Structure 1
């Protein structure tokens, strides 16, 4: 980060609303809110606080006493931006900004900021723009006060600024249509790339997991690639793919995906579907968990829900990888290792020290034995029966006639290879 760039002094609030039945653990939620804020280089988080509320106040979110108390605090701490880790309605946002004289960003707004800061591919950038516009569209009510001053006019039509808001909405809608067209083009190109990749004789192994679970560190460890693997949320936004050779097994393509997060803004769930479509093409999914995190169980549930909503089927090979055992006490780490030893679908590892990785890679290779691999066969003209069998099995990729017979490129499983040998 450049030091001459002035950082914005920010404070993180997590409203712990007692009437909300699905509310998360306030302490871990606040920690995650602070980690989200830390993911933006221009912010300096000067403080954080859980605010307990019996229920959300419709106009202001907080009660008047709490608003006064926080106003004094923010003034003393010279806070310029308050991040509220939760949903804030446009009206609440406007009222709080007025009361505290600071800029307010809710959880959705903050995640959008991070996504736009991190998106690297053309597709990622377009998706973030679309998500941000959909979000802004719901916030247009905030424009009224300054539009009153701006517009002059007689204000006959339904109150100040209303026509301006309609115009703004229309402009946003037109922009969304334009972006959607561009995105469709990008997605089409990508589908073509994926179709081309389907012809590559490598199975795909996708890393998924809650944000900050250590996927990128594991990816780098296995591939020797230098993917941004910082200890911050959403360090990776665009899927990154590398080829990896498994010991005594096939070569695979390893795909590192965006980190999942609970309460992901709805605008983003839709727009990042395509980024996660890599997972649907995967032969094996590795669900990487930060087993040292206090909220690891809930994080795992969030990931499973997203995988289900993406349509990942039950019979897809899925291995659970308990990462960061180097951050546990020796006792806890041993308990994890013992659990893992009793299950073939579970591995306790450390992406930092490399512990447990050879066993994990061996298991991936085993899982992939049912997966197709590539081979070139030379058949004589007399082997018509074998040639017909190959075509019937639909394993032929291409065929070339030579002086002595046929050179046939096939993609098949070990089982098919054995059946062919027995012909």
Structure 2
């Protein structure tokens, strides 16, 4: 969505359809999330329209009577845009556009629009454009006049501004160009990952539902300047910074894009290379907003997306955030090791660092070696690349007695075997 020059918020009507398999509470939270998405896209919700149906109406999403009611509300409130809480088919969008005097977009377009606002890196922008073009393609035919209202605003950022009569061949060509560019970016990212692997740095990825507080936590733990705000998808491009644990051991912490229910499949595919960062992690920190009444489904959504990424072999720990605003019905339910903190509390952050260090040590091997004093380089490496718990110099033997923990795959293991007691 494009903000108007006056920063005026656009008037929005939300529309949702509740099916039998969705209970009232779940549907309520889904509509609340849609409202938050609209707010993030600079929209001001003036009315919410809902309907219970056995199935989605194949032609208009909601029933005929509800469309007529919605038409009267559009006349009354004169909204800039009407947003539907599902992905509309091309024919549903066309039919609704004919009957309603407002711009029609769906949940997918709204999320794509927010991503278009948030993308900062070249890769992020390319990925969003690719997702938008792939969404747009099947919706081009037969939409001549219906979408002539695409003048700007929510749902029209980036390629959404493309005139609908644009030649399909041009779009296909652009998609091929973007994929070629993304392939080069992905190869560069892979080379960077390989370099990190060779340096044998312990890598941690932050994952979680959007607005769980990942960027706030990332900034507090690393003294970084990742964008943080109480908005959905405040972070889009992954950032990696050093995180020093209480022992002095240095790890790399990566902040990733937030997950969300019903994330458009085009976006999951487009951002796969970005999410590959998660696959390279030695440890995943799953951040959960303990103040959100729907935290359980947020956890479930994240685990489903992690399953799609096939990261089952990577250890996961859960960090329940926003302890200072915890929901009265909150009960930690993680099947993984967990800790409850507030990212704004320095004491909690120190507790989290200690918690992370304990988990890291559990993934390491213990060593107890005697290093000759002439092995200065090896001693320096032990201090920098392992968790060195005890270092004592024995004057009689001229040896350093060293105790600590090291990653099983670290090449220093071979040298340490020579000096084991």
Aligned residue for 1:47, secondary structure, equals strand
Where do 5+ consecutive residues of structure 2 fail to align?
A: 148-162, 366-370, 379-406
Q: Distance in 1 between matches of 2:414 and 2:315?
A: 20
Match of 1:161 in 2: none
Task: Give 1:227 shift.
Answer: 1.4
Does the CA-based 8 Å contact 1:202-1:250 persist in structure 2?
no
Q: Deviations over 1:32-58 (max 9, x none)?
A: 0011111113x2322323332232111
In the TM superposition, what are the counterparts of 1:260-299 in structure 2 within 5 Å? 260-299=259-298
- In structure 2, do the counterparts of structure 1 residues 233 and 189 end up closer, same or farther at CA, with 3 Å as the change threshold? same
Task: Give 1:367 shift.
Answer: 2.6
Match of 1:419 in 2: 417
Does the CA-based 8 Å contact 1:205-1:285 persist in structure 2?
yes
Aligned residue for 1:9, secondary structure, equals strand
Match of 1:319 in 2: 317
In the TM superposition, what are the counterparts of 1:137-286 in structure 2 within 5 Å? 137-145=137-145, 168-286=167-285
Task: Give 1:176 shift.
Answer: 0.9
- In structure 2, do the counterparts of structure 1 residues 5 and 356 end up closer, same or farther at CA, with 3 Å as the change threshold? closer
Match of 2:87 in 1: 87
Where do 5+ consecutive residues of structure 1 fail to align?
A: 148-163, 387-409
Q: Distance in 1 between matches of 2:5 and 2:291?
A: 33
Match of 1:394 in 2: none
Q: Could you state the TM-score of these two structures normalised by the residue count of structure 1? A: 0.79
Does the CA-based 8 Å contact 2:94-2:146 persist in structure 1?
no
- In structure 2, do the counterparts of structure 1 residues 78 and 241 end up closer, same or farther at CA, with 3 Å as the change threshold? same
Match of 1:26 in 2: 27
Task: Give 1:92 shift.
Answer: 0.9
Task: Give 1:354 shift.
Answer: 3.9
Q: Distance in 2 between matches of 1:99 and 1:416?
A: 73
Q: Distance in 1 between matches of 2:286 and 2:39?
A: 25
Match of 2:38 in 1: 37
- Say what the alpha-carbon RMSD is for the aligned residues: 3.2
Report the more deviating stretch, 197-206 or 97-106: 197-206
Task: Give 1:362 shift.
Answer: 1.5
The number of aligned residues is: 368
Aligned residue for 1:143, secondary structure, equals coil
Q: Deviations over 1:110-147 (max 9, x none)?
A: 11111111111111111111111100011113434579
Task: Give 1:363 shift.
Answer: 2.5
- In structure 2, do the counterparts of structure 1 residues 10 and 362 end up closer, same or farther at CA, with 3 Å as the change threshold? same
Larger radius of gyration: 1
Aligned residue for 2:123, secondary structure, equals helix
Task: Give 1:357 shift.
Answer: 2.8
Does the CA-based 8 Å contact 1:284-1:364 persist in structure 2?
no
Q: Deviations over 1:305-358 (max 9, x none)?
A: 1111101033x22111111121126x767x65xx89xx9811011112345332
Q: Distance in 2 between matches of 1:304 and 1:207?
A: 13
Does the CA-based 8 Å contact 1:15-1:52 persist in structure 2?
yes
Task: Give 1:62 shift.
Answer: 1.6
Q: Deviations over 1:140-164 (max 9, x none)?
A: 13434579xxxxxxxxxxxxxxxx9
- In structure 2, do the counterparts of structure 1 residues 325 and 413 end up closer, same or farther at CA, with 3 Å as the change threshold? farther
Does the CA-based 8 Å contact 2:81-2:102 persist in structure 1?
yes
Q: Distance in 1 between matches of 2:414 and 2:336?
A: 25
Q: Distance in 2 between matches of 1:378 and 1:258?
A: 47
Aligned residue for 1:293, secondary structure, equals coil
- In structure 2, do the counterparts of structure 1 residues 64 and 188 end up closer, same or farther at CA, with 3 Å as the change threshold? same
- In structure 2, do the counterparts of structure 1 residues 366 and 328 end up closer, same or farther at CA, with 3 Å as the change threshold? closer
Q: Deviations over 1:345-385 (max 9, x none)?
A: 1101111234533232113223323459xxxx99989xxxx
Q: Distance in 1 between matches of 2:336 and 2:300?
A: 20
Q: Distance in 1 between matches of 2:303 and 2:415?
A: 35
- In structure 2, do the counterparts of structure 1 residues 366 and 421 end up closer, same or farther at CA, with 3 Å as the change threshold? farther
